[in-house]
Amino acid sequence: MKEKPTFYDVLMQRGVSRRDFLGFCALTATHLGLDASGAASVAHALETKPRIPVLWLHGLECTCCSESFLRSGHPLASDIVMSMISLDYDDTIMAAAGDQAEEILQDIIRDYRGAYLLAVEGNVPLANDGMSCIVGGRPFRKKFEETARHAKAIISWGTCATSGCVQAAKPNPTRATPIHRLVDRVPVINVPGCPPIAEVMTGVISYILMYDRLPELDKQLRPKLFYSQRVHDKCYRRAHFDAGQFVERWDDEGARQGWCLYKMGCRGPTTYNACATIGWNENTSWPVRSGHGCIGCSEDGFWDRGPFYERLPDMQQWGIEANADKVAAVGAAALGGAVAAQLGGSLLKRMVKGKRGDETPSADDDKKGTQS
């Protein structure tokens, strides 16, 4: 195997000065919350590592994850693909096809055993001997097993890979099975969402490259840095929820004022994702801003938690039912008191559970999240 240029080499080749490079490292270290010595380790990592090979497989899926990845503005998908990683296999964009494509898998497994990343978009259907997804005349399952066995780590892109998504909605006819249920020993990172936010996808890759380690994961194997806050808690319309100002019908006066979509079925209160903070398409918008509630697309089993326009049934926060229809009657003082009471309530609850400051939302928490 010949010597591979490092990320640093590639930047130098692209005309980036060393001064700019170190500035970039410092900025990156700060951005990722490291102290002053962090910049040096970032620089060292980037100077000494060849570009990591990435094999990107597609199982049962719709390719929305690939499309989302291409939307990344920072870093640009073109920079990731051409300069940061070596995307040696991705059937959606690769030049080679057929035998020439499949050969690459064998070459990478041979040359980079234990040192490549496997990215999987989609899941593995197990029904019918796996023959609901046939690649190269064999069940996709085989291809997945061969490449997974020798991977350094596996990134499960999107809800298809992390929990089966729409194929796994009842009655899950193909027995679409999430990636992490099929793997032992090789670490798996779940990056859910239908699709995940572009900058979350490229953020996960950047993190692994910068630090040569996986980001810290929660119990559902999601990176905590992107999936530990509820959409509802960061929603720019949250004040309207607290004030009892709701959209009651599509295109009503509340909709034209940008009020809360809880009564239209918004799943923000039970969804852990970064839509409300990072936003979509370089923060152009996100579903609530477009006037439609969140459908909870990054949560396990969200397809079977419908109908989507039915309000969350167990949402028992401060006086919604009493006050939603009597907004005008609520005085400012009473409102402030109620919000404080609610916040106090949630803090108390977290402390009792012993999770404050280090919450690891689990599927259980999701169900209870509506009450916290």
Q: What is the DSSP string of 64-103?
A: HHHHHHHT-BTTBHHHIIIIIEEEEEETTT-S--HHHHHH
The H or E element spanning position 293 is none
Within positions 216 to 245, which residues make up the interface with another protein, using CB under 8 A? none
| Interaction of residue 126 with another protein, rule CB under 8 A | yes
> Does residue number 124 form part of the binding site for another protein (CB under 8 A)?
yes
- 83/360 with CB nearer another protein: 83
Contact status: 16 vs another protein (CB under 8 A): no
Least separation in angstroms between CB 345 and another protein: 28
Query: In terms of CB distance, is 308 or 350 closer to another protein?
Result: 308
Q: How far is the CB of 226 from another protein (least distance, A)?
A: 15
Q: Does 305 contact another protein by CB under 8 A? A: no
Given candidates 268, 292, 300, 361, which one binds another protein under the rule CB under 8 A? 292
Stretch of residues binding another protein (CB under 8 A), selected from 40-48, 160-168, 318-326, 357-365 = 160-168
Figure out which of the listed residues 29, 109, 161, 183 binds another protein, where binding follows CB under 8 A: 183
Give the interface segment with another protein, choosing from 16-24, 38-46, 145-153, 349-357 (CB under 8 A): 145-153
Q: Is residue 20 close enough to count as binding another protein by CB under 8 A?
A: no
Binders in 34-63 for another protein, by CB under 8 A: 50-51, 53, 58, 60-63
Q: Map tokens 């169900």 to a residue.
A: 367
Q: 33 or 307, CB closer to another protein?
A: 307
The half-sphere exposure of 9 on its side-chain side, counting CA atoms within 13 A, is 9
In the chain, the amino acid numbered 173 is P
Rounded CA separation 65/160 (Å): 9
The minimum distance between CB 372 and another protein, in angstroms, equals 25
Q: 135, 120 in Cβ contact below 8 A?
A: no
User: Interface residues for another protein in 59-118 (CB under 8 A)?
Assistant: 60-68, 70-73, 76-78, 81-82, 85-104
Task: Give whichever of 94 and 335 is closer to another protein, judged by the CB atom.
Answer: 94
- Which segment (178-186, 202-210, 325-333, 353-361) binds another protein by CB under 8 A? 178-186
DSSP for 229-283? SBHHHH-TTHHHHHTT-B--STTSHHHHHT-B-GGGT--GGG-B-STTTT-BTTT
Which are the contacts of 290, defined by CB distance < 8 A and separation ≥ 6?
none
258 binds another protein (CB under 8 A): yes
Residues in region 307-326 near another protein by CB under 8 A: 307-309
Q: Do residues 232 and 182 make contact, with C-beta atoms less than 8 angstroms apart? A: no
| Preceding amide of 50 cis, omega within 30 | no
Contacts of 153 (CB under 8 A, 6+ apart): 117, 118, 186, 187, 188, 189, 208, 214
Radius of gyration over every alpha carbon of the chain, rounded to an integer in angstroms: 23
Question: How many residues bind to another protein according to rule CB under 8 A?
Answer: 118
Q: Which of 19, 33, 185, 328 touches another protein by CB under 8 A?
A: 185
First-to-final CA distance of the chain: 55
- Return the number of the residue (19 or 185) whose C-beta is nearest another protein: 185
Tell me whether residue 223 or residue 293 sits nearer to another protein (CB atom). 293
Min dist CB 45 to another protein, Å, is 17
Which residue has 């780590």 as its token pair?
Answer: 153
Output the CA torsion sign for 290, 368, 233, 217: negative
